[in-house]
A and B are shown apart, each in its own frame.
Chain A
């Protein structure tokens, strides 16, 4: 089955004319026929529940390869120029340290703001357990406002507007403040969900034993809430790490900002591509880790 599909594709590709050559109409129609056949054939394999996953994987990659090849052949993409322009690694020679420095600042910003947002989030969530309508009103306003404003706006306000009120915050402080307050709002929602997941009977048992409010939160609620909170909270913090890139608009010397400097000085976008790859290299493992945490949590819940 897979063999015949491969043969079909090979035959079709073999028949494909050059882009420039004049092509008779009958040829177009027969080639379209082949393509339709290939699509139908691979579609039927992919949709078949009985077929092994390995085969489906192979067919999927084969299709992608064929489509890529068709695109390459007929789109007129100029791969050489693209490579020269975007993947000109020579431009980065001797400049890598600038990107590493930028990465260092990015991680530093993420670390400090991460602590900041956890503190802010936990504080808000704990204050909300006091169930004071007035306080809850203001906390809700805070959380909603910060979850609605784009991070970039918050940073710009801290960096460009505060000086008019006589408060000058550097780019680093503005970024940390903006990220901590903004992602603190998200973190508070994670904590709140975790705290609410603790059964109300736990609270009653703790109260009936005469435990104070704070002891109840600290000894009973948080130990049960934290495992529930960890996966979504980690997800939030990873999103925050990604959002540190926004700090480049207030000229914090983080990875994206440094890459853009290089882009200007070298008049070549390769540093941006390199920055993108560095973000990928850092974030993909983290995103995977979050996913694993979530799965483990899910399993535990199903037990």
Chain B
């Protein structure tokens, strides 16, 4: 799906550093994510994968470096970060649905309060999204009444409701029972097919092999390898990568 109006480069990161006090977590990360690209981020625990994603929409304040989202420098002093965040949907490991709201209310909240669209329109769009993730009949269920897989699908629909250009997933299936992982990955696979630009922290090899265009392999706060799934899984020369893949396979 190519669209002439959309910039070719969706995300550009230049020499991104992040320190927590004495802990130097990201030590100069640079990369470019193109439109419709699906980038998997892999690496050992504590290598800074989550921190990397969270810096890209400034949930975490980067220590230094430049970040451009659709060409906009989001580190510029007077940038309206909330506007930037509406362009990036985020899905978390622990779902983080709002427990006091039903599924459809979870989905409608941001469109109505940030985009200021009417309740009627938000409901229609929200229902369409629930349909898409296969949960139309659960619209009025509260999160606690849903299984983990269902909650995560609602969370995806909630992120999509803002009609973002980019989607971030931080280990979206790690908190799920094995039999529910498939239903969430299916939704993600469809999104990838429809041309969504995605960054996915995940260790689901099958999904990555099939859906990802590229893998960024992080270790100790640096990108140690950047290549296609085939290059990384089958022809990696890096000790860290081989070691890690050996462990998770």
Contacts and interface: CB of A to CB of B under 8 A. Distances in A.
Contacts of A211: 82, 109-110, 113-114
B182 interface: no
Contacts of A206: 98
Nearest to B109: A219
B94 interface: yes
A210 B85 contact: yes
B156 to A, nearest CB: 12
Interface of A: 199, 201-202, 204-212, 215, 219-220, 223-224
A190 to B, nearest CB: 19
B96 interface: yes
Contact of A223 (B59, B100, B158): B100
Contacts, number: 59
A205 B98 contact: yes
Interface residues of B, number: 25
B155 to A, nearest CB: 8
Contacts of A209: 85-86, 109-110, 114, 158-159, 162
Interface of B is mostly: mixed
Contacts of B158: 205, 209
Given A209-B110, A212-B114, 11 more contacts: A205-B96, A206-B98, A207-B59, A208-B159, A209-B85, A209-B86, A209-B159, A210-B85, A211-B110, A220-B98, A224-B98
A195 B17 CA distance: 31
B82 A208 contact: no
- Chain A contact surface mostly: helix
A210 B99 contact: no
Contacts of A212: 82, 114
B100 A201 contact: no
A160 B249 CA distance: 78
A204 B54 CA distance: 10
A204 B162 contact: no
B215 interface: no
Nearest to A212: B82
A198 to B, nearest CB: 10
Interface in B39-90: 57, 59, 82-86, 88-90
B113 A219 contact: yes
Contact of B88 (A199, A208, A223): A208
6 contacts: A201-B96, A202-B96, A205-B97, A207-B59, A208-B90, A208-B159
Given A201-B92, A215-B113, A210 B86 contact: yes
A300 B159 CA distance: 29
A274 to B, nearest CB: 46
Contacts of B100: 223-224
B92 A204 contact: yes
A208 B114 CA distance: 12
Interface in B96-116: 96-100, 109-110, 113-114
